[in-house]
């Protein structure tokens, strides 16, 4: 009997895993995603936490708070330093 129960528990655990991940607080997940992007050398990006309906057409990199919100990724233009002012005569 115990041999038949183990595969069933394994299937239940697999099905629950995505739900547990999606319940993570958005700020915590966004920090984890940012750390991974930074570790890979990605620069000039933004992550935004938005309600599901505002994520349409965006690049979604995470789901959080029980699947009610999404984390979107966008490339941004790098900030260029202001050019030096011309010398005064």
pLDDT of residue 77: 87
pLDDT of residue 78: 79
Torsion of CA 5, 11, 15, 21, to 10 degrees: 90
pLDDT of residue 82: 63
pLDDT of residue 3: 54
pLDDT of residue 79: 72
**Would you kindly state where each structural domain of the chain is located, as residue ranges?**
22-75
Spell out the per-residue pLDDT of the chain, length 89, in tens.
455 544 444 444 445 445 544 578 999 999 999 999 999 999 999 999 999 999 999 999 999 999 999 999 999 987 776 666 667 76
């Amino acid at each position: 009997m115990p041999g038949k129960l183990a595969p069933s528990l394994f299937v239940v655990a697999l099905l629950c895993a995505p739900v547990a991940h999606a319940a993570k607080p958005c700020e915590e997940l966004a920090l984890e995603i940012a750390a991974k992007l930074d570790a890979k050398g990605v620069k000039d990006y933004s992550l935004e936490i938005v309600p599901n309906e505002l994520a349409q057409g965006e690049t979604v990199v995470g789901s959080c708070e029980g699947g009610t919100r999404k984390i979107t990724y966008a490339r941004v233009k790098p900030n260029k330093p202001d050019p030096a002012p011309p010398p005064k005569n």
